[in-house]
Amino acid sequence: MIEWKKSEALDEAMKKLLESLLEVREYLEEITPFNGEILTPAREKQLKGILLSHGLPSAIRQDPSILKDNPYFRDIRLDQVRSPSVWYEKAVIKKRTVLNTDFLRPVGTYLLHEHPLGYFDEDLEIPVLKEKGKVWMSPVVSEIQSMDDGVKKGWGRCMTMGLGLGFLPYLWLLKDEVKSVTVVERNPHVIELFNTYIRPQFPPEKELTILCGDALDYYNEPFLSQFDYSYVDFWESTEDGLAAYIKLQEKKVLAPRVDFWIEDAILQDVKHVVALYLLNHYRGGRIADFIAGQEGLMQTVAKKANRFFKSRQDVLSTEEELLFLLHDKETLRALLSLTR
Ligand SMILES: C[S@@+](CC[C@H](N)C(=O)[O-])C[C@H]1O[C@@H](n2cnc3c(N)ncnc32)[C@H](O)[C@@H]1O
């Protein structure tokens, strides 16, 4: 089991860790009411004040070119899409409406993070595919921003899991350094819709292969090793993302050239539980009570944290060592991969 070599410096680090957890809660409570609101100048001043008080970026007005100059957005028409269950509708992001512009981004050394919010200073049309009247898929701002890194890193033979509207495959195929794109998609209707309406608008000279199957079945070393870069993106948000991400890590696959969509945001929930676990252990609290106090998937993470820290022999004596356990991606992935 990990042990602590307690000191004033470590007491201070634990205090900062707890404060960052409390600050996150306060910050979220303060900004949530703004989401979806049409921002008056007075409310904008208030929102900026909140962001500044937490040391977060307060430039919330967005440049419409994020959408307008995005090649997928500019080139691909979805207005012909009409199947028995999925159809196109035009939606408008109203001028000055506050929206999420990205998934959360870690900030600073502890657990404070930013939930980027922003607005456009003009009405902007966006395509939406609806399924039985409910939004099914749409290339929204937060998706465009959150996939940017994956777009940039793509080269050679690329692979992604989750076809959706083919946003990432399209942006990859436009890059000279990308030779081919392979996609694993579970839903044959998504593939059919893509092949009928969207694929004809893709550059025909480059190889695009779509495999119909479950991402988890394809997530293995022999398959992944065929590609220069892979990007796993078959979840909708951090909620279903954490469950899927845990299943992937439990496969204990060596995947050095693989990235996961919104991984930082997914890991934030994991870090939260790990932080509470470490705080509890540092103070000599009962681990069983701590685990029992967690709910659902968070309890699964708490149990994994317990297995992981029980199996370690580290003696922790510095803030750096604490922060490493909390933030190191390989450590967190190893923790989540434990099944018993
Ligand atoms: C968020 S969308 C992906 C967006 C896509 N990256 C793009 O660029 O447009 C998620 C996609 O994953 C697919 N999907 C969900 N679970 C899956 C699984 N287990 N295996 C493969 N595909 C899956 C869904 O049908 C959907 O098409």
In this structure, the residues whose C-beta lies within 6 A of any atom of ligand 1 are 160-168, 184-187, 190, 214-216, 233-234, 236
- pLDDT digit string (tens) for the chain, length 340 residues: 999 999 999 999 999 999 999 999 999 999 999 999 999 999 999 999 999 999 999 999 999 999 999 999 999 999 898 888 888 988 999 999 999 999 998 888 999 999 999 999 999 999 898 888 888 888 789 999 999 999 999 999 999 999 999 999 999 999 999 999 999 999 998 999 999 999 999 999 999 999 999 999 999 999 999 999 999 999 999 999 999 999 999 999 999 999 999 999 999 999 999 999 999 999 999 999 999 999 999 999 999 999 999 999 999 999 999 999 999 999 999 999 999 7
Cβ atoms of residues 309 and 2 within 8 Å: yes
Q: How far is the CA of 306 from the centre of ligand 1 (A)?
A: 32
* β partners of residue 247: none
Q: How far is the CA of 340 from the centre of ligand 1 (A)?
A: 29
Helix, strand, or coil here: 328? coil
State which ligand 1 atom lies nearest to the alpha carbon of 234: 12
Kindly provide the residue ranges of all beta strands, DSSP E only, lying in 56-109, ordered along the sequence: 86-93, 99-100, 105-106
Cβ atoms of residues 55 and 108 within 8 Å: yes
Buried b (16+ CB within 10 A) or exposed e, 228-250: bbbbbbbbeebeebbebbbebbe
For the chain, give percent helix, strand, coil, nearest 5: 50, 20, 35
CATH 3.40.50.150 in the chain, residue ranges? 148-258
* β partners of residue 158: 181, 229
Q: How far is the CA of 10 from the centre of ligand 1 (A)?
A: 43
In the CATH scheme, what is the code of domain 148-258?
A: 3.40.50.150
Cβ atoms of residues 317 and 10 within 8 Å: yes
State which ligand 1 atom lies nearest to the alpha carbon of 215: 20
Tokens, residue 338:
């434990």
The residue whose C-alpha atom lies closest to atom 1 belonging to ligand 1 is: 236
